[in-house]
Each structure stands twice: as C-alpha cells, then as structure tokens.
C-alpha cells in the first residue's frame, strides 16, 4: 500500500472526524449533566453527613459550581491537555483508570472482531461456493440461530458446558492469578481465559459477515471482469482470491468498522459474565456511582476508537478498491 | 438499494398518484408469502409468543415473583409446574410468559420510537437536501459513532429504569439506521415522475413527503423495523441482565441474571429464558428476511 495513498485518504477523512469528535464531547457532557444528583451527593451520602457549607466547598472543588457552558469549556481545555479529570470517587485520574482497563478490553474486542471476520468470511465463501446446496442450507440454519442468541447468554451456556461439565476452560478472570507463567505457558494461559468471552462476543458478528460475504460473492461472480478473468485463463483459485474475494470484502469491512462501537458496548455485558477486568465493569461502576468524569471518559474514548476504526476502514478500502478514493 | 427504476408499489400504493397494477401485485405478494417457508415459520412463532404475552395475565394470574412451590425443581418433574421453579420457588413458566410481555412491549415501542425519529430525520434530509440535509447527516453520524449500548445505559441512568424509559432510550440510540435508509430512499424517489405530478397538482410538501413518497419507501422500512425490534429485545435483555432493567417487571434478562448464581447445578434456570429470547429474536429475523423477499421481487433471484 503506497504511503501517498494513506496520506490522501487521511487528508480527506480527518477533517470530517474533528467536528464529529467535538459533537461527541458536547453530547456526552450534556447527557451526563442531565443525570439527577451529582458526584457531591454520592460522596456526601457515603460520608453519612454533610453540611450546606461542606457541600458547597465540595462542589467548588469539583468544579460543579460553574455555569454549564463554562464547565464544557473547562472540560474541553483539559481535554486538549489530555486531562480527563479525576474520578471523584476513586481519587485517581480518569486517564490512568481507563488506560489501566483499556488493554484487556481491546484484547477482547479485537480478538472477537478478528475471529468474527475470519470465520464469517470463510463461512460466507463456503456458502457461496455451494449456493443452494446442502452445505449452504445447513450453515444458513445454524447462522440464523447464532444471530438470534444474546451473546452473554451464549457465554453463560458455554460456561456450563466447557467449565462446569467438561472442566476444560476457566470461567472467571483474564489470567491465572499468582501463577507467574513465562513465555509459551503465559500465552496459553491467557488464551484459555480469552477463548470463551471472545467467542461469545464474536459469533453474532460472524453470522452477519458470513451472510454479507455470501451475497457479495454471489454478486461478484456475475460481474463482467470475472468472465474476463476466466477468459484470459486465470487459475480459478487466483481468480477467487484476487478478484472475487477482494471485491466482496468491501461491504464486509464497511460494516465491520461500524460494529466496533457495538462490540465495545457488547463487551460490557460479556465482561460482567466472565469477570473480565476491562472498561465494561469500570463503566458499570461509574454509572451506579454517578462518577461523571469516568463515564464521560469511557464514552469519549469508545467513540474515538470508533472514529479511528472508520479511518482504518477507509484506508483498507482504498487498498481493496483503488477507485474509492476518487469518490 | 439502487432503485433507479420506478418501484412497483407492493404494499398499499400511494393514493391518487401512483396506483398502478395494485390487484396483480397483491396476488403476487400472497403467492410469495405462501411459498416462503422461513417467513411462515417465523410468523407462526411470533404469533405464538404474542399470544402468550397477551394471555400471560389470564394463564398465570398473580405475581410471577411469588413463591408458589418448592425451589429449584427441574423441568418435567412436576406436573403442576412443567418448566420447573426458580431459586425462590417461583414458577418459571409464569416468569417466561410475563417476560414475553416485557420483551415484546420493549421491542415494539423501541422500534416505534426509532422509526418515528428516523423517518422524520431521513425524510426531511433526503427530500430537501442542502444545508438541512448536511446538518442532519452530521447528527446522524454523531449518534452512529457513540456506542449504542453505552448510550442506552447512560439514558436509562439519567431517567431511571422503567419500561417506557428503556424503550425510549433504545429507540433514541438506534434511529440512525432508519434515518440513513429513509434518506437514501427519499433521495432516489424525490425526482420521480409521481412526485413531480403531485407537486404540479399543488399538493403540500407535508402531503408529498408522507402521503406520496413515504408509502413508496415503505418496503425496506418495514424490513428494518423487524431488525430494530429484534435488536431492541436483545438490548433490553442485556440491560436487565446487568440489573438496569425495570425493577417492577419480570423480564427474560432479569431471569437469566437470577439464574446466574445457580449455573453450576441448576443451569436450566438460565437456559430457559435465554432460549425464549433466541426463539423470539429468531422469529423476528425470519419475518424480516421473508418480508424482504416478498416486498422486493428482485431479491427472490438471489435465493
């Protein structure tokens, strides 16, 4: 992929991303300001007592006494300095809190996305090759069921089968605590913890990609350039990879980029099921405790990740189909 | 959806201006329904679930959270409570029936909210174009970038967990899908002859948008509605699983949460409500797929 092309795509997509980011900051801020009760209430409630003066002092310390517009400006200014504020409850900077949880969530979500893409495209390809025959029909029926299952329930049922009945996989956490594995053993250990949550999160999306790939592949096969490729004596396998699959991947990558946000949301529930120490449990805690700064940070970061994913998709697509950058 | 050719009005045709071949397309649609086995299966399941939901109060009067029998009896071991009982001696069958009510209610109302906002935004942007369209597209993109589930959780946290709030929040978080679809349809349809004819007859803009263009854009909207409802049911299930559902209602998600601590032994308490969700969402998807084939004759050749 030429670097020049990447720069070209970036110069087109980044200016579009900035207003979206600003909008998201403001939207999130307004949403969170609508919450009944503020952090000062929560802190006072936990302390058990509060005077009017101590509450006022607390609100001043937390910046809650300023006007709404000023609060947004303060927040934006801090944001530019990569300061997302402090968690009013835990005392730690929000950035530290989130960055501590981010790697685990990213590992879960990206593994799930990767698995969904590979499985989905592979299945869709097989289905398109056997269109109308029994493998196609069989896979279709299975996918229809997978597509209808709540991921977290699938995860719970997987725990029953693989942890409780068979005893193959651990059901809680992201690594063996205190085991201190090194090298290969460490990798295997992490993998054993990752398999079930990643599968539970990914199967729903694998079903979507399989169906998309199937219909895209069937559509591509009827294009003129496929007949040309066959006429010039191209090997069928080369033809399938270089021409058919490459074109069929365009709709799949578009949708996959949009799914990252959904997967981050879905990860919240899956993380709860498997005791996975990611952003999900942090977000849930901050909702319950009305810890604005943390929740705001998570929403913002998730949205930024979605924007980033869309930029990556744009670059990928300009590689898959060079005509796209001319649009 | 690149419908450059005039769309055959498959459902209720636009009144007055575009009433072409209504009877013939009607019989074609009926034939398509009869030959579409997945649609028939989906519609039957959906009808059955809806019937159970409507009759829940009659079939199982009394609070589904009440203790009625010994706790944790396995399904098919007690004739009086064929689906077994939960940890507090609740009748699981009663919970499932009342849960159907909650799930379907959320599905229908969330889809309606999403449809209402999405159609308004999409129709206005697509029909008028220009600056209004630019702004609406930006707002749509904004809502598409924020992760839906997180947004729903924040909205529910703001307003308190009650069924209308949950349904509204899901609708508010999912309307962009509809808006994009409706906008695309309106952009292709607005330059059609029947719109020009309506305009030359002096119809008001509102009438052209809702009386002329919207009925012609309906088929893909109808298909999307079933997807919206299915996703709303899944979202509500996740929400009540996390303990953020309506505390006064038994829902399938909260039943799964109740069964979680019993997973090692009485896993049926978790399995049954999940199966109910799967079956209901499955039926909605089958109906959506079927409607897509029935309402859009071009897609039949794809199958």
Contact residues, chain A, for B260 at CB < 8 Å: 156
Query: CA distances (Å), B291 to each of A96, B36, B211, B220, B223, in order?
Result: 50, 9, 22, 9, 6
Can you tell me the mean pLDDT for B44-61? 83
In a domain, B246, yes or no: yes
Residue A169 burial class via C-beta count within 10 angstroms: exposed 0-12, middle 13-18, buried 19 and up: middle
In a domain, A92, yes or no: no
The residue among A327, A325, A301 whose CA lies nearest residue A106 is A301
Number of domains in chain A: 1
In a domain, A248, yes or no: yes
Cα(B270)–Cα(B235) distance, integer angstroms = 17
B142–A23 CB contact, under 8 Å: yes
Cα(B294)–Cα(B219) distance, integer angstroms = 9
Among B138, B146, B281, select the one facing A19 at the smallest CB separation.
Answer: B138
User: Structural domain of residue B248, as residue ranges?
Assistant: 31-60+91-302
Please answer whether residues A62 and A292 qualify as being in contact, where contact means their C-beta atoms are separated by less than 8 angstroms.
no
What percentage of chain B's residues is helix, strand, coil (to nearest 5)?
70, 0, 25
In a domain, B78, yes or no: no
Bridge partners for B91 per DSSP: B85
Q: What are phi and psi of B260, to 5 degrees?
A: -60, -40
Please answer whether residues B180 and B122 qualify as being in contact, where contact means their C-beta atoms are separated by less than 8 angstroms.
yes
Please answer whether residues B168 and B113 qualify as being in contact, where contact means their C-beta atoms are separated by less than 8 angstroms.
yes
SS3 call for A43: helix
Confirm or reject contact between B260 and chain A (CB < 8 A).
Answer: yes
In a domain, B82, yes or no: no
Check pLDDT > 90 for residue B283.
Answer: yes
Can you tell me the mean pLDDT for A257-270? 87
In a domain, A16, yes or no: no
Q: What is the pLDDT of residues A10-68, one digit of tens each?
A: 777 777 778 888 888 787 777 767 766 666 666 666 666 667 777 777 777 666 666 77
Specify the range with the lowest mean pLDDT, choosing from A213-222, A278-287, B23-32.
Answer: B23-32
* Residue B76 tokens, joined: 């098919």
User: Structural domain of residue A251, as residue ranges?
Assistant: 99-320
In a domain, A72, yes or no: no
Please answer whether residues A164 and B267 qualify as being in contact, where contact means their C-beta atoms are separated by less than 8 angstroms.
yes
Contact residues, chain B, for A299 at CB < 8 Å: 146-147, 150-151, 154
Number of domains in chain B: 1
ipTM: 0.82
Check pLDDT > 90 for residue A112.
Answer: yes
CATH number for B260: 1.10.3720.10
In a domain, B127, yes or no: yes
The residue among B274, B262, B278, B275 whose CA lies nearest residue B74 is B262
Check pLDDT > 70 for residue A225.
Answer: yes
Q: Which residue in this structure is represented by tokens 């493998």?
A: A135
Query: CA distances (Å), A166 to each of A283, B259, B270, in order?
Result: 33, 20, 18
Put simply, the chain A residues between 24 and 83 with a CB less than 8 A from any chain B CB are 24, 27-28, 31-32, 34-36
Please answer whether residues A297 and A102 qualify as being in contact, where contact means their C-beta atoms are separated by less than 8 angstroms.
no
Can you tell me the mean pLDDT for B245-267? 83
Find, in chain A, the residue whose alpha carbon is nearest to that of B263: A160
In a domain, A181, yes or no: yes
The residue among A315, A314, A281 whose CA lies nearest residue A101 is A281
A145–B278 CB contact, under 8 Å: yes
In a domain, A173, yes or no: yes
Best mutation target among A18, A136, A140, A152 (most B Cβ atoms within 10 Å) is A152
A153–B278 CB contact, under 8 Å: yes
Cα(A111)–Cα(A206) distance, integer angstroms = 12
Neighbouring CB atoms inside 10 A of A66's CB total 13
Contact residues, chain B, for A262 at CB < 8 Å: 147-149
Q: What is the pLDDT of residues B104-158, one digit of tens each?
A: 998 899 999 999 999 999 999 988 888 988 889 888 888 888 888 888 888 887 7
A215–B146 CB contact, under 8 Å: no
In a domain, A191, yes or no: yes
Among B149, B153, B244, select the one facing A266 at the smallest CB separation.
Answer: B149
Q: What is the pLDDT of residues B165-181, one digit of tens each?
A: 898 889 988 899 899 88
In a domain, B9, yes or no: no
In a domain, B103, yes or no: yes
In a domain, A71, yes or no: no
Check pLDDT > 60 for residue B193.
Answer: yes
Please answer whether residues A299 and A30 qualify as being in contact, where contact means their C-beta atoms are separated by less than 8 angstroms.
no
In a domain, B114, yes or no: yes
Specify the range with the lowest mean pLDDT, choosing from A84-98, B125-139, B288-302.
Answer: B288-302
A150–B263 CB contact, under 8 Å: no
CATH number for A276: 1.10.3720.10
């Amino acid at each position: 992929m030429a670097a020049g092309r990447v720069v070209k795509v970036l110069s087109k997509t980044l200016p579009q991303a900035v207003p979206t980011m600003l909008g998201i900051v403001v939207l999130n801020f307004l949403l969170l300001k609508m919450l009944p009760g503020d952090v000062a209430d929560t802190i006072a409630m936990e302390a058990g007592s509060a005077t009017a003066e101590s509450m006022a002092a607390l609100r001043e310390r937390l910046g809650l006494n300023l006007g709404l517009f000023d609060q947004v400006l303060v927040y934006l200014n801090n944001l530019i300095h990569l300061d997302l504020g402090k968690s009013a409850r835990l005392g730690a900077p929000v950035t530290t809190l989130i960055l501590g949880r981010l790697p685990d969530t990213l590992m879960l979500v990206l593994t799930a996305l990767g698995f969904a893409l590979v499985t989905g495209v592979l299945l869709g390809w097989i289905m398109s090759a056997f269109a109308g025959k029994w493998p196609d029909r069989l896979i279709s029926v299975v996918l229809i069921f997978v597509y209808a299952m709540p991921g977290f329930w699938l995860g719970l049922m997987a725990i029953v089968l693989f942890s409780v009945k068979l005893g193959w996989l651990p059901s809680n956490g992201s690594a063996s605590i205190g085991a201190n594995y090194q090298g290969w053993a460490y990798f295997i250990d992490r993998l054993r913890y990752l398999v079930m949550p990643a599968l539970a999160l990914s199967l729903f999306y694998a079903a979507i990609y399989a169906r998309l790939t199937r219909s895209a592949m069937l559509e591509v096969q009827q294009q003129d350039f496929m007949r040309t490729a066959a006429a010039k004596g191209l090997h069928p396998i080369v033809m399938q990879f270089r021409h058919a699959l490459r074109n069929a991947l365009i709709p799949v990558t578009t949708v996959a980029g949009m799914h990252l946000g959904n997967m981050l949301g879905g990860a919240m529930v899956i993380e709860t099921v498997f005791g996975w120490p990611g952003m999900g449990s942090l977000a849930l805690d901050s909702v319950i405790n009305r810890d604005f700064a943390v929740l705001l940070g998570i929403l913002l970061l998730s949205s930024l990740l979605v924007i980033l994913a869309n930029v990556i998709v744009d670059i990928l697509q300009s590689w898959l189909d060079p005509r796209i950058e001319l649009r | 959806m690149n419908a450059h050719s005039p769309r055959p009005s498959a459902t209720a045709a636009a009144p007055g201006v575009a009433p072409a071949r209504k009877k013939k397309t009607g019989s074609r649609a009926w034939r398509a329904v009869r030959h579409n086995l997945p649609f028939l299966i989906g519609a039957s399941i959906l009808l059955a679930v809806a019937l159970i939901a409507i009759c829940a109060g009659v079939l199982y009067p009394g609070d589904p959270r009440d203790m009625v029998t010994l706790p944790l009896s396995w399904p098919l071991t007690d004739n009086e409570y064929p689906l077994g009982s939960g940890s507090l001696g609740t009748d699981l069958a009663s919970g499932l029936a009342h849960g159907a009510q909650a799930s379907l209610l959320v599905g229908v109302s969330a889809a309606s909210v999403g449809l209402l906002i999405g159609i308004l935004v999409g129709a206005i942007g697509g029909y008028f174009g220009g600056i209004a369209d630019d702004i609406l597209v930006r707002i749509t993109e904004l809502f598409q970038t924020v992760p839906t589930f997180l947004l729903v959780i924040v909205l529910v946290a703001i307003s308190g967990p009650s069924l209308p709030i949950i349904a509204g929040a899901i609708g508010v978080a999912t309307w962009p899908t509809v808006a994009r679809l409706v906008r695309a349809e309106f952009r292709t349809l607005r330059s059609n002859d029947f719109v020009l004819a309506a305009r030359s007859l002096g119809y008001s803009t509102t009438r052209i948008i809702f009386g002329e263009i919207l009925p012609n854009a309906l088929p893909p909207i109808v298909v999307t509605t079933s997807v919206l409802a299915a996703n709303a049911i899944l979202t509500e299930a996740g929400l009540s699983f996390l303990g953020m559902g309506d505390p006064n209602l038994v829902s399938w998600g909260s039943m799964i949460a109740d069964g979680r601590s019993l997973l090692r032994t009485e896993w049926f308490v978790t399995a049954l409500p999940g199966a109910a969700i799967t079956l209901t969402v499955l039926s909605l998807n089958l109906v959506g797929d079927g409607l897509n084939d029935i309402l859009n004759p071009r897609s039949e050749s794809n199958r």
